[in-house]
Chains A and B, each alone.
Chain A
Amino acid sequence: MINKRLIPVIILKNGLVVQSFNFDKYLPIGKPEFIVRYLSNWESDEIIILDIDATINKRLINIDLIKMLSKEVSIPLTIGGGVDSLKSAEIYFKNGADKISINSLFLDEKFSTINSISEEYGSQSIVLSLDFKKDDNNYYLYDYRKKSMKNLDILKIFEIIKNELQIGEVLINSIDRDGSKKGYDIEIYKIANNLLSHPVLSLGGANKLEHFIEILNLNNVTGMCAGNIFLHSEHSVELFRSKLNKINNVLRPNNYFSYE
């Protein structure tokens, strides 16, 4: 089995880290610098930071923050929010992003812009982040800016990814499960596992050990992401790593901690 990763996702709104519920309600938690520091100390495999009002307010993410965070952590940092061109991607990479997360460029079908970033920085530096909503037993792309579904179902989207895009990973976020504590929507990841040849990252609903175990056997889902559970419970990432490795050595081993 391919080694999996545990990846905390930090959502920023108005410069603060927030807890998200169904893309609808947000509760502020605290300052990103502290949260990133402890998530790094708890041996997260990577960290993803998404600024959800950057694009809406037509601005970039706070560059000083990215600079500072990249100085503090020696694990990969993915930055998302506000990437609308090769130029803005360049600013993120130059200031400390190892990967960028792209969402609006896909919603606006600017595929050639996405590919131009890939040609300059390599496909491994692009995480395509897609939000899905379930309707009538199918999954549709959701546009968080307009708070509406797009008339693009999951099969059509995966065709586009396969035929038109040069990207590294695909982050699939289930809106119905966001903040729900009900676990990942396994159905959608089964489809992704069968149809995509990229590493897939799962996000939305993971809250306890069983939720991570449920998704382990989906081969292409190599990154298990979570927001709330990783951010709120002490030593969260490290504790899950320890427990998951006891079942099956699916993650890199603990370096500093030992939970017996």
Chain B
Amino acid sequence: MSKKICIIDYNAGNIMSLYQSITNVTNYQVVVSNDIADVKKADYIILPGVGSYSYVSNYLSQKKIDVALRTAMIDAQKPILGICLGMQILFETSEEFGHSNGLSILKGNVKKLKTNLNYPLPNIGWRNVDMNKDSQFNSGWYYFAHSYIVEGANENNIIGISKYGLDFPAVVKHHNFYGVQFHPEKSSKSGLDFLTTFFSI
């Protein structure tokens, strides 16, 4: 039977290109859903990078998807990928629009990028990502669009680093949870390669 991928729908923003990129790189069945049953049935779960931190965080707990994600961490080894905000939400807190709580699946907090004036914000564009040698992903150029980064993450969880005035985590991993600060679905060939690798886990 074909494997199932669930893109979690927060009802905010553009997930069409993510859906399209995934269907381009796999033959798996892809559903876009906020139904807890779909989340539980899926072999892969994707948290897209759209919306704002507190909105998404509240939405996930309202739909009890947060509980399902924690269960997935303990019970199953199903790979989960958070993209941009979808990665940040896996951490403890964020200072975007005040203070909001995340899912606390990974240790660390989301803070505004503190660069000097030579680095206009948001950080928008293609940046080089250096992956750890033992990571299955390829170093290369990926598309970023963000003003916030993860700080205080466990060093062992950081498997890829990028730079914008300062080094920041671009790819994180904790058990079956993966997170990327960039947008693989917007990163042309390198992004599609990244997704192909992820769906072979």
Specify which chain B residues have a CB less than 8 angstroms from the CB of A96 in the assembled complex: 14, 16-17
Q: Are A71 and B20 in contact (CB under 8 A)?
A: yes
Chain B, Cβ-Cβ closest to A97: B14
B residues near A70, Cβ cutoff 8 Å:
14, 16-17, 20
Contact with B along A2-17 (1 / 0, CB 8 A): 1111000000000000
Can you list 22 pairs linking A and B with CB atoms under 8 Å apart? Answer: A2-B118, A2-B120, A3-B125, A3-B126, A4-B125, A43-B188, A70-B14, A70-B16, A70-B20, A71-B17, A76-B145, A96-B16, A120-B52, A121-B13, A122-B51, A122-B85, A124-B122, A198-B120, A199-B122, A199-B125, A222-B125, A252-B141
A200 touches B145 (CB 8 A): no
A168/B122 in contact, CB under 8 A: yes
Closest Cβ–Cβ distance, residue B5 to chain A (whole Å):
17
Given A2-B164, A75-B186, A76-B145; 7 other pairs, CB 8 A cutoff: A2-B118, A3-B125, A3-B126, A5-B125, A74-B188, A94-B16, A198-B122
User: A180 contacts the other chain (Cβ, under 8 Å)?
Assistant: no
Q: A93 near B14 (CB under 8 angstroms)?
A: yes
- Distance, CA A94 to CA B191, complexed state (A): 21
Kindly name the residue among B55, B85, B143, B146 whose own CB sees the greatest number of chain A CB atoms within 10 A: B143
Taking a contact as CB atoms closer than 8 A, the residue among B121, B128, B191 that contacts A74 in the complex is B191
Within 8 A of B (CB), among A87-141: 93-99, 119-125
Q: Which residues of B contact A125 (CB under 8 A)?
A: 13, 145
Q: B124 contacts which of A43, A95, A119, A168 (Cβ < 8 Å)?
A: A168
User: Within 8 Å of chain A (Cβ to Cβ): is B72?
Assistant: no
Chain B 127-155, CB-CB to A under 8 Å as 1, else 0, gives 11000000000000101011100000000
Complex contacts, B16 vs chain A, CB 8 Å: 67, 70-71, 94-96
Structural contact, A74 and B192, CB atoms closer than 8 A: yes
- CB <8 Å contact, B50 and A121: yes
Report how far A253 CA is from B24 CA in the complex, Å.
24
Q: How large is the interface on A (under 10, 10 to 19, 20 to 34, 35 or more residues)?
A: 35 or more
What distance in Å separates the Cβ of B186 from its nearest Cβ neighbour in chain A? 5
A238 at the B interface (CB under 8 A): no
Confirm or deny: A236 has a beta carbon within 8 angstroms of a beta carbon on chain B. Answer: no
Q: How far is the CA of A121 from the CA of B96 in the complex (A)?
A: 12
Question: Which of B21, B24, B186, B192 has the most A CB atoms < 10 Å from its CB?
Answer: B186
With A74-B21, A75-B186, A121-B13: A199-B97 Cβ-Cβ less than 8 Å:
no
Question: Does B12 count as interface, using CB distance less than 8 angstroms?
Answer: yes
Give the chain B neighbours of A251 by CB distance below 8 A. 126
B63 at interface by CB-CB < 8 Å:
no
Contacts of B55 in A (CB 8 A): 120
Chain A residues with Cβ below 8 Å from B118 are: 2, 219
Q: Mark A76-87, 1 if CB is under 8 A from B, else 0.
A: 110000000000
- A2 near B119: Cβ-Cβ < 8 Å: yes
CB distance from B162 to the nearest CB of A (A): 11
Which residues of A have CB within 8 Å of B120? 2, 196-200, 219-220, 222
Residues of chain B contacted by A223 (CB below 8 angstroms): 125
Is there an interface contact between B14 and A94, defined as CB atoms closer than 8 Å? yes
Distance in Å: Cβ of B112 to nearest Cβ of chain A: 12
In whole angstroms, how far apart are the Cα atoms of A45 and B127 in the complex?
Answer: 11
List 3 tightest A-B contacts by C-beta distance, closest first. Answer: A252-B126, A252-B141, A124-B145
